[in-house]
């Protein structure tokens, strides 16, 4: 199926999303910092045709407009507006990192709109380190130069590479990202334990973001509702363990919810 990019308006801003198409059951996907909707292309291909992945470019990312604020309530309101725009009833929602917090906060605050939740490598307590963000190059003369400057991190950010008048940079603003990382930091246990739908928490065994002990506590606090899958990956599990990640997501979504 052809991938379709579309837009909708919320609060005077335009947000963009990618609909990976098909007639399958919808799965809304929310990316993490430094990324955008296109990061879910491999997952969408792996889940088709049973699942139709529709991924949002969150505020300040991809083709979506920048915002004046990157606080929690704004992100959650964007997800709600996205869902309303699509016109679906209750859906499954998947989120990575920043998107994972947005996903479980949306599920907690709009319980009747989410039937299943997948959270990828982020905790109920978030302690962001924005030193990597502030070290990012603001621009580079060529795409190859930008990739070279990023080194081993380049494959994780390349979906957000963009040409500009003075070379190459990113589809996100570095200062906005720092503001967003500061705003997502904190204790979100209240939202996590308020989620009422079946939940799969996916953790990378080499993650520097979600510690094993914290992941197990998250499951324990929602005993009978949530379960943990640990895959051989770093923080970006869907990138490092594509096949295993897609299999875990597919198996979870295929269960009756």
**Residue 96 confidence class, pLDDT cut points 50, 70, 90:** very high
pLDDT of 166: 86
Residue 236 lies inside a defined structural domain of this protein = yes
Question: What's the predicted TM-score (pTM) here?
Answer: 0.97
SS (H, E, C) the chain: CCCEEEEEEECCEEEEEEECCCCCEEEEEECCCCCCHHHHHHHHHHHCCCEEEEEEECCCCCCCCCCCCCCHHHHHHHHHHHHHHHCCCCEEEEEECHHHHHHHHHHHHCHHHEEEEEEECCCCEECCCCHHHHHCCCCECCHHHHHHHHHHHHHHHHHHEEEECCEEEECCCHHHHHHHHHHHCEECHHHHHHCCCCEEEEEECCCCCCCHHHHHHHHHCCCCCEEEEEECCCCCHHHHCHHHHHHHHHHHHHCCC
CATH of the domain at 96: 3.40.50.1820
Q: Is residue 53 part of a domain?
A: yes
pLDDT-derived band at 256 (thresholds 50, 70, 90) equals confident
Inside any domain, residue 246 = yes
In a domain, 9, yes or no: yes
Distance CA 62, CA 118 (A): 22
Q: pLDDT by residue (tens digit) across 172-191?
A: 999 999 999 999 999 999 99
pLDDT averaged over the chain? Answer: 97
Q: Given a cut of 90, is residue 257 above it in pLDDT?
A: no
- Is 181 among the domain residues? no
Is the pLDDT confidence value at 29 over 90?
yes
Residue 74 in domain: yes
Number of domains in the chain: 1
Q: What is the arithmetic mean of pLDDT over 244-254? A: 98
The stretch 129-156 carries a mean pLDDT of 96
**Is 168 among the domain residues?**
no
pLDDT digits (tens, 9 = 90+) for 30-44: 999 999 999 999 999
For residue 249, the enclosing domain spans: 4-124+186-254
Taking only the tens place, the pLDDT of each residue in 34-72 is 999 999 999 999 999 999 999 999 999 999 999 999 999
199 within some domain: yes
For residue 9, what pLDDT is reported?
Answer: 97
């Amino acid at each position: 199926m052809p991938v379709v990019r579309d837009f909708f308006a919320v609060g005077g801003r335009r947000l963009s999303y990618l609909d990976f198409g098909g007639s399958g059951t919808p799965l809304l996907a929310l990316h993490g910092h430094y990324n955008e909707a296109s990061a879910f292309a491999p997952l969408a291909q792996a889940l088709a045709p049973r699942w139709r992945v529709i991924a949002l470019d969150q505020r300040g990312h991809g083709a979506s407009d920048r915002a004046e604020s990157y606080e929690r309530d704004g992100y959650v309101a964007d997800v709600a507006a996205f869902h309303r725009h699509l016109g679906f009833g209750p859906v499954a929602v998947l989120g990575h990192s920043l998107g994972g917090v947005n996903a479980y906060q949306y599920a907690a605050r709009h319980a009747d709109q989410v039937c299943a939740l997948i959270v990828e490598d982020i905790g109920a307590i978030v302690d962001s380190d924005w030193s990597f963000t502030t070290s990012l190059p603001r621009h580079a003369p060529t795409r190859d130069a930008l990739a070279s400057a990023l080194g081993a991190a380049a494959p994780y950010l390349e979906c957000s590479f963009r040409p500009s008048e003075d070379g190459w940079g990113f589809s996100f603003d570095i200062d906005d990202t720092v503001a967003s990382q500061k705003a997502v930091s904190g204790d979100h246990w209240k939202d996590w334990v308020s989620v009422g739908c079946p939940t799969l928490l996916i953790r990378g065994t080499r993650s520097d973001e979600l510690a094993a002990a914290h992941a197990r506590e998250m499951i324990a606090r929602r005993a009978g509702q949530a379960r943990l899958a640990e895959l051989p990956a770093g923080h970006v599990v869907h990138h490092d363990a594509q096949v295993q990640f897609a299999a875990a997501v597919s198996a979870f979504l295929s269960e009756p919810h």
